[in-house]
Amino acid sequence: MRRLVLVFLLSVFCIWSGVGRSAESSVSTDSGATGSSSSTIVVTPDCVKQVTDKLITKFGEASRVRIERGVPQAAVYWRTGDGTTQEFEQYCLDNFASDPVLLKDVFARFEKNFESIQGNYHRITRDIKEPIDLDIGEKLPVDEPFAKFDPSNHLQEDLFQTKLAFYVLLNFAQTSLMDKLKDGPKWSRDEWAQTRLVDYFPARVPADVQQKINDAQIAGESYINDYNIFAGYLLTADKKTPFAEDLSLISHWGLRDHLATLYVTDDGLAKQEMIFKVMERIIDQSIPQSVINKKTFWDPYSNTVFEKASDTYKQIPASPEPDTRYAMILKTFHAQQIADPLYPKYPRYIDRRFDLERQIPEKEVERILTSLVSSDVLPAVGELISKRIKRPLRPYDLWYSGFKVSGMIPEKELNEKIRQKYATLEAFTKDVPRILQFLGFTPEKAQYLIDRIAIDPARGAGHATGAMMHGDKAHLRTRVPKNSMDYQGFNTAMHELGHCVEQTFTLYDSDHILLAQVPNNACTECFAFVFQFRDMDVLGMPLKDPQVEHIKTLDTFWTTYEIAGVALVDLQVWRWMYENQNATPAQLKEATIKIAKDVWNKYYAPVFKIQDCPILAIYSHMIAYPLYLADYPLGFIICYQIEDFLKGKNLAVEMERMCKSGYLTPKQWMENAVGSDISPEAIIKAAKKAVEALNK
């Protein structure tokens, strides 16, 4: 599975990192939540000026800039429950740190304590979610309520009530994304770490609001983790079962990945069409409820359900899934809406997701993605694929695997190879040091990494979650059906290993714990892809083709094309929800299908020669990980730029160097890593050369 569980600041303090508000933008709103003693903001602009003047008088002109910045930063969050205007004034007079030595010592204390706080909260959350995330037996009735419990929910308000948050806001600079993009390249590492400290306090979000957001996320994850289709129970019109009896495919990852393995099998086309029909049923919610995560015989074409007695199939009544997919999306949307008024500069979840977490403006991400999906080389790539598969393109050829070694080898052969090599998850774990050495890490460095990585069996498709304090481990999760890894599980494991290596380097090799992560999820996805693309080499089955580089380029390019469209659908669905805030699940379903068809018709129909296909709406991230999908095409683009840079260089050495840059903006991180900003131009240009070469 190509995803990463969000383990950065938002998952620990349950707040979105970003910039605070100016005093002029003060609002007197409150969600009615617990933890806030009053909604009234008592520090007026006149009061801010008065306190500022008194501090300048006390500490002198040398401190003017810091005082004029810090007092409004603190004032905007001061409520009646925190004290009177006079108490605010006294707090500022007592707690402004004019001594640079004291300020340095205070920052070091915050950094040390925050590592312990965020690291231990993260471990607790990870531990109590194990029954939900890991394949360790049947879930108990208490497991989901435990997973919804977030021990850090009251932390942010506690930091305000103890006045620690105000100390940070009063004494350190709060910066916007534009500030970081403009001035960040001139900042020292200490200045970067200090601005990341202040980024912990972009709003004052009550605990019960955080709990609602957390509940919605857990509900979405649980829904998707249990959304399996038992392919061995899919029936053709003549009551044949084309798939192996024990084949279980999670939506959408398992469906997509299994479909991609069928290009080299004799009956692959019929099976692909059947999986595609299942996907369509999931999207439009005509799928019978009784076939989801149940061993029930189902003909997805006629959409009829059967029970079997001896060799006879008898049709039985079946009701469709009641738009649950879209109800889950709305549940997350409405939970985020509650927090929207608390971020007047970022009034939508979309704004927080792009500007505060991804650190790339929404319009810039959209521009990057649309420039790739509208590239004039795409029709030529489509024609090349059509020539290779000897038929017109079908919509599911978005997942064409013929540019991958795994796509050229029958699934049965691939699975047998994996089962021989990794009969158990423990066998894979023992082989990880060798894999790392194969990728260029020294034996000592490979051991250093494996000592800091735990490997677990995933209940869902798989993911990685990094550590957040020294002494803890990153966790790699991959699916291992019946205790025997198959190719999909291995491919996922390689992807997640890339995440875990990155997470280990950024934590353990960072000079500041507040900089101990990459800028955003796209920057960790790129390393996951770098590892994943080498899976067949690791198995000793490298692509033996003189045009291997061109083939790999088209693999990355076509995959980026596919996922970029899905990301555009995800973004447009969220825009639609903000424009239609009282929509029902049925209305959202209708809108999502229309949006998916519109994106398809604009960017994919010219290549596939097929209109009105809704397939771009199949991705499960839209339910469990909203607005995450853009990180994948950005990750692929970054990955290509890194792969291009790595030619003739040692992957291990360069990866470690890149990871050490840490939590800068993506722009600055990329310029440090490869000398240029994120851009699809390089991969588009390379794709044109690849098509020309492969058509000769």
pLDDT of residue 59: 97
What does each C-alpha distance from 271 to 15, 232, 244, 695 come to in angstroms? 44, 11, 11, 29
Angle at which helix 64-75 crosses helix 85-95, to 10 degrees, equals 140
Cα 149 from Cα 170, distance rounded (Å): 32
- In angstroms, the CA 250 to CA 461 distance is 7
Q: Which residues pair with 307 in a beta bridge?
A: 314
Radius of gyration of the chain (CA): 26
Assign 542 to helix, strand or coil: coil
Per the listing, tokens 């299994």 go with: 258
- The confidence score (pLDDT) of residue 346 equals 84
CA distances from 408 to 6, 13, 144, 243, 402 (A): 34, 46, 41, 20, 6
188 contacts 659 by C-beta, under 8 angstroms = no
Q: To which H or E segment does residue 70 belong?
A: helix 64-75
Residue 500, classed as helix, strand or coil, is: helix
Q: What are phi and psi of 249, to 5 degrees?
A: -120, 115
pLDDT tens digit sequence for 345-381: 789 999 999 999 999 999 999 999 999 999 999 999 9
Nearest to 258 by CA among 286, 284, 234, 237: 234
Q: Tell me which amino acid residue 256 is.
A: R
Residues pairing with 455 in the sheet: 476
| Alpha-carbon 468 to chain mean position | 17
Q: For the chain, list residues with pLDDT below 70.
A: 1-41, 405-408, 483, 543
CA-CA distances (angstroms) from residue 375 to 61, 243, 404, 604, 638? Answer: 56, 37, 22, 11, 17
Q: How far does CA 546 lie from the centroid of its chain?
A: 35
Tokens 């998850």 -> residue: 425
Tens of pLDDT, residue by residue over 248-272, are 999 999 999 999 999 988 889 999 9
CA distance 192 to 515: 8
Rounded Cα gap, residues 106 and 513, in angstroms: 15
Terminal Cα-to-Cα distance of the chain (whole angstroms):
35
Listed in sequence order, the DSSP H helices in 393-475 are: 411-421, 425-438, 443-450
Tokens encoding 677: 């900003």
